Amino acid sequence: MAAEEVRAEFIRRYRELRPHATLQRFGIYEALQLALRAMAFMWAQVPGWERVAETYLVLAFERLKSRLPE
C-alpha cells in the first residue's frame, strides 16, 4: 500500500514538473526495472530467492496491465 502511494505521488509530481512529457511507456520501464530486480535475486541464489523473484515478476506484470493513476 505504501509503495502504491509513493508511486502515485511520484507520477503526480512528475506530471506537475513535466506537463508535456508523455508517459505512454512508463509501465514498460517500470516492469523492466522490476524484472531486473527479479533476475538479480535469481542470480544471487540467496535463501528464499524464488519467492522474492516471483513477487517482483507478478508486480511487473501488473504494471504492464494497469493504468497510471490520475
Nearest residue to 57 (alpha-carbon basis) of 22, 21, 18, 30: 30
Write out pLDDT tens, residues 29-68. 999 999 999 999 999 988 999 999 999 999 999 988 888 7
pLDDT at residue 2, as a whole number: 84
Nearest residue to 41 (alpha-carbon basis) of 55, 59, 53, 30: 53
Write out pLDDT tens, residues 11-35. 999 999 999 988 888 889 999 999 9
pLDDT at residue 36, as a whole number: 95
